[in-house]
Structure 1
Amino acid sequence: MQWRGRRGSGNVEDRRSMGAAGAGGMGVVGMLAVLAFGYFFGVDISPIVRELDQAPGEGSGPLTQEDEKWGQFMSVVLADTEEVWATTLPEQAGIRYRDPTLVLFRGTVQSACGTASSAMGPFYCPGDQKLYLDTDFFDMMARRMGAGGDFAYAYVIAHEVGHHVQNLTGVLQQVNSLRARVSRSDSNKISVLTELQADCYAGIWARGAQERFGTLEPGDLEEAQRAAQAVGDDVIQSDAGRVPVPDSFTHGSADQRQEWLMRGFQSGDMGQCDTFAQAGL
């Protein structure tokens, strides 16, 4: 991925030097709160929690050279999303794009959606319009999921920005209202549609970044597809030693996530990302 030497975003809030206890220091009550938060936002993070719960807490300290590099990388990716959506959203949806803030943290973090743990993975909070990310998640992608690579990591950020786009278009509000009135099984299905649309929006970003900046290098799309596959609900459940249960899916299968990512990339059209209409909603 070509990213060095380009503009970084000014909308990055780096809290990593503040330090925080990792998931292992949360205790039973804290872990239950994280699991409940994950369910509310449609995130099945229980397999990952088991691993992170055994990790030692991180103390405060200065940022390392590696930390600084991660910060620069994510700042450039965020800037790319700003430029792509600043034109795409008004042109295709008639809505002015408002830049979100990316919060980098370690261990646990306070957001308008409550206290969250790195065990949840990256997430978007519509209450403060901020993306939250612990860069240790990227290490896990490479080590545990076999989905490393800079464009794979950029896809993760672009997916969370996709949720921000959904917030600006009013989709998240409608989704949360509907999920509160239906059964858990139906709520999970709606969550899957929400996540697949965010994947499709990540594909739109990838297309726009390539057209504007020549971002893609050979193998980059394959990196993003491997990442989308690795976070498919069926793959996560299988890796945890469980038989995949489609009714429990909250993000979609590996095939679905790859399909919608590529649909966004190939079309560059938000109209082609309407997962809800395709499902008859």
Structure 2
Amino acid sequence: MKWEGGRESDNVEDRRGSGGGGFGGKSIGIGTIVIALVGSYIFGVSPSTVLEVIGGGGAGEQQQGPAGPPINDRDSKFVKTVLADTEDAWGALFRAQGATYQPPTLTLFSDRTPTACGTGQSASGPFYCPGDQKVYIDLSFFRLMKERFNVAGDFAQAYVIAHEVGHHVQHLMGTSQKMQEVRRQGSESQVNAMSVRMELQADCYAGVWAFHTNQKRQILEGGDVEAALKAATAIGDDALQRQGGGAVVPDSFTHGTSEQRARWFSKGLENGKVEGCNTFDTRNL
């Protein structure tokens, strides 16, 4: 992936090396399903129950001690550049519809950090918190992708960031608010089914970002798309359940199968059309 030399976003907060705690509502993350599935097999409870524990209850963002000065290392520069590309792509798409895109803040942290959605944990993977409109990433997740899932490469990592920004887009469009309604009133199976559609749409939005960024800056190199598809496949619910040593239970899916995740990312990447990412009005996920 050709990312060097691109504009770097100012909307990155570096909390690495600064600990913290907290409590609060719900977060939406690409990696949360990993710990939920592992926990369900170990403790004999449903993944959704583990997700409730991870999300916590109540509200309110907690304060943490002062972080060190921002680090302009390669990893942070990469994150800033990818985030800037999401800002440019979604900014243009929103303007085309007569709206203004409000970019999220991306917070780098290590181990744990307070958020408006509770204490962010490295174990839950990157996530988006609607309460403070921030994307949270412990960069050790990228090492986990390589070591556990054999997925590497800058574009695969950019896909993860773009997926979480996709959740922010859903928040701005009012989609995530509908998810909260289902959480309050729906059954466990209804919540899981809605979550799958939310996650697949975020995958598609990641593809939309890639399409428009490549059109503008020609970022894609040989093998990039394959690496991103491999990442999407590795974190499908069915693949994670098999890796966890248990049976594949479709009713417990919260993110979609490997095939679905790869297909919806590809769908967004094909033509960059936001309207093509409507996972809620289709029977064929």
Query: Which residue of structure 2 aligns with residue 4 of structure 1?
Result: 4
Determine whether 1:86 maps to 2:76: no
TM-superposed CA distance for 1:46, in Å, is 3.0
Shift of 1:181: 1.1
User: Is this contact kept in 2: 1:175–1:190, CA < 8 A?
Assistant: yes
2:15 paired residue number:
15
Go from structure 1 to structure 2 and tell me whether the alpha carbon gap of 1:116 and 1:187 turns closer, same or farther (over 3 Å shift): same
Distance 2:124 2:4 in 1: 29
Q: Which amino acid aligns with 1:17?
A: G
Identical residues among aligned pairs (%): 46
Q: Find the counterpart in structure 1 of residue 73 from structure 2.
A: 68
Per-residue CA distance 1:162-205 (angstroms, 9 max, x = gap): 00000000000011112321110111000000000000000000
Q: What value does the CA root-mean-square deviation take over the aligned residues?
A: 2.8
Give 2:110's aligned residue: 106
| Residues 30, 163 of structure 2: 8 Å contact kept | no
1:46 maps to a residue whose letter is A
CA distance in 2, matches of 1:40, 1:233: 13
Partner of 1:269: 273
AA at the equivalent of 2:175:
V
SS in 1 for 2:180: helix
1:247 is aligned, of 248, 251, 255, to: 251
| Equivalent of 1:147 in 151, 164, 170 | 151
1:77 corresponds to which residue?
82
Please state how far the C-alpha of 1:47 moved relative to its aligned partner: 4.8
Paired position in structure 1 for 2:130 = 126
Once residues 229 and 81 of structure 1 are traced to their aligned partners in structure 2, the CA distance between those partners, rounded to angstroms, is 22
Letter in 1 for 2:14: D
CA displacement at 1:17 relative to structure 2 = 2.7
Alignment length (residue pairs)? 258
Distance 1:111 1:39 in 2: 12
The CA distance in 2 between the partners of 1:214 and 1:14, in whole Å, is 28
Q: Deviations over 1:258-280 (max 9, x none)?
A: 00000001121111100001149
Q: State how far apart, in whole Å, the 2-side matches of 1:89 and 1:121 are.
A: 28
Residues 112 and 248 from structure 1, CA distance in 2 versus in 1: closer, same or farther, beyond 3 angstroms? same
Aligned partner of 1:78: which letter?
Answer: L
Structure 2 Cα separation of the partners of residues 132 and 185 of structure 1: 27
1:223-242 alignment runs, 5 A limit: 223-242=227-246
| Contact 1:49-1:119 at 8 Å conserved across structures | no
**Deviation digits for residues 115-171 of structure 1 (CA, Å, limit 9, x no counterpart):** 121111000001111000000000000000111111000000000000000000000
Q: For 1:173, which of 171, 177, 180 is the aligned residue? A: 177
Q: Distance in 2 between matches of 1:39 and 1:180?
A: 16
Amino acid at match of 1:261: F
- The TM-score normalised by the length of structure 2 is 0.83
Q: Are the counterparts in 2 of residues 42 and 188 from structure 1 also a CA contact under 8 Å?
A: no
Which of these residues, 205, 211, 214, is aligned with residue 218 of structure 2? 214
Deviation of 1:70 (Å): 0.7
Q: Is the 8 A contact 1:263 1:272 kept in 2?
A: yes
* Partner Cα distance (1:226, 1:239) in 2: 15
Gap runs ≥5 in structure 2: 41-65
Distance of 2:29 and 2:260 partners within structure 1: 22
Matched position secondary structure for 1:13 = strand
Matched-pair contact (CA < 8 Å) for 1:196–1:256? yes
For 2:109, give the aligned amino acid.
Answer: F
Q: Runs in 1 of length 4+ with deviation above 4 angstroms?
A: 36-42, 47-50, 60-65
Aligned to 1:46: 36
TM-score, normalised relative to structure 1: 0.84
Conserved 8 A contact 1:16-1:63: no
